[in-house]
Amino acid sequence: MTDTTGIETEEPGTAVAVADDDATGALVPADAAVEVHTDHSNHPSPRQYVLIAIVLVVLTAIEIAISYIDTEHTNLIIIALFAMGAAKFFLVAGWYMHMRLDQPFFRRIFVIGMIGAGIVYGIVILMFSSTVLKA
Amino acid sequence: MTQAVATRDADAVVPSAPHAHDTNTGVSNNKLAIWMFIASESLFFGAFIATFFLYRGRDALYLKGPTPDELLNIPFTSVTSFVLLMSSLTMVLALAAIQRADHRRFRLWVLATAFFGLTFISAQVYEFTEFYREGLHLSTNLFGTTSYVLTGLHGAHVTVGIVWLLSLFGRSLQGRLGPEHSEAVEIGGLYWHFVDVVWIFIFTAVYLIPQH
């Protein structure tokens, strides 16, 4: 069985990689070696990129419409806005930045940065919001 | 042809797969560098977004100068946000074009991306000028300080991105950017998309969340 990356897979969990003669033969971690993409055939097509752009525009339009809602439930509006912001983030990062298809190593580095930022600044806001509010 | 068998056992070490990079990690050092840079930039912008939220609405007690409600022009900024979103589309189309060795389309899309970026920056300059005319300076109030710094830093990143895109365009014109160099475009594209992603959150935080 051959998948779109050119890597022959025999059964779930194993893969046979075919190396060129000019390959260096350097030793690399197995998961890095298996998931290296030799070409870009697994990238979305231009048509798919346009479809994602349309979804992004629609989400932005909904966000703007929500921001005009005059309600006492401000927290609900904030949650809805951030949920849609997160959806747009995953669309851009996953498809346009190819995070969904690229080597997992890059994804891990980025996710560590994002989670680190979320935790650090979440704590900062929680710690200081009460003191600054009273000022 | 050399056959190499790889398993998904994370601890196993196997001969490198085709086109695996000759590095300790088996991945491209340049791409690794840009992803690490993006991760650090997430922390950088996170600091300014957190600060903006921390001081948001604090001016109510001792407010000087115009309020955000009086200043912010959401329809105008929505259009500029749309322009920046579209620049991500043209950037990814530029990458797809260079990977197909379609140089004509690559130049078209990369120039379109730079143009959209330039439009966004021009709109930001116009917006800052309007704010200044209305009496909002960097030190007028907390909203002025936090919003100018946050959106201004983002604008600086967009400007760097435009220069980067134009350098890619120049390299292509000189015939120094073939499909084998598509990683250079991909790295520039990752930076550009990151700048777009950051704006998604800045737009929500500064413009869309009710200020009261």
What CATH class does B29-208 carry? Answer: mainly alpha
Find the helix or strand (DSSP H, E) in which B75 lies.
helix B74-99
CA distances to A64, A77, A96, B84, B188 from A71, in Å: 15, 9, 35, 29, 42
CA distance A131 to A87: 32
CA distance B143 to A120: 23
Asked whether residue B80 carries a pLDDT value surpassing 80, the answer given is yes
Residues in chain B closer than 8 A to A92 (CB atoms): 88, 193, 196-197, 200
* B162-177 mean pLDDT: 94
Q: Residue B170 — very low, low, confident or very high, per pLDDT cuts 50/70/90?
A: very high
The percentage of chain B sitting over the pLDDT mark of 70, rounded to a whole number, equals: 87
Tell me, yes or no, if B196 comes closer than 8 A to chain A by beta carbon.
Answer: yes
Q: What is the predicted ipTM?
A: 0.82
CB contact under 8 A, A96 and B17: no
Q: Residue A40 — very low, low, confident or very high, per pLDDT cuts 50/70/90?
A: low
Residue of A nearest to B39 (CA): A113
Average pLDDT, chain A: 72
* B138-166 mean pLDDT: 94
Average pLDDT, chain B: 86
pLDDT in tens, A45-61: 889 999 999 999 999 99
Residues in chain B closer than 8 A to A53 (CB atoms): 85-86, 88-89
* Of B13, B74, B182, Cβ closest to residue A67: B74
CB contact residues (below 8 A), chain B span 4-33, against chain A: 4-22, 25-27, 31-32
Q: For an interface test with A, which of B200, B203, B206 has the most A Cβ atoms less than 10 Å from its Cβ?
A: B200
CB contact under 8 A, B10 and A64: no
Please name the residue that has the structure tokens 């790889």: B6
Q: What local confidence, expressed as pLDDT, does residue A3 receive?
A: 41
Q: What local confidence, expressed as pLDDT, does residue A70 receive?
A: 82
Q: Residue B59 — very low, low, confident or very high, per pLDDT cuts 50/70/90?
A: low
Asked whether residue B32 carries a pLDDT value surpassing 80, the answer given is yes
Closest CA to B185 of B77, B100, B74: B100
CA distance B194 to A121: 19
Q: What local confidence, expressed as pLDDT, does residue B115 receive?
A: 97
Residue A43: what are its φ and ψ, rounded to 5°? -70, 150
Domains of chain B, residue spans: 29-208
pLDDT in tens, A97-131: 998 888 888 888 888 878 888 888 888 888 876 65
Angstroms from A5 CA to nearest CA on chain B: 10
The percentage of chain B sitting over the pLDDT mark of 90, rounded to a whole number, equals: 60
Residues in chain B closer than 8 A to A21 (CB atoms): 1-2
CA distance B165 to B192: 9
* Of B2, B19, B204, Cβ closest to residue A21: B2
* B157-170 mean pLDDT: 97
Closest CA to B138 of B65, B40, B29: B65
pTM of the complete model beyond 0.90: no
* B56-61 mean pLDDT: 68
Tell me, yes or no, if B96 comes closer than 8 A to chain A by beta carbon.
Answer: yes
Q: What local confidence, expressed as pLDDT, does residue B57 receive?
A: 74
Domains of chain A, residue spans: 1-42, 43-102, 105-135
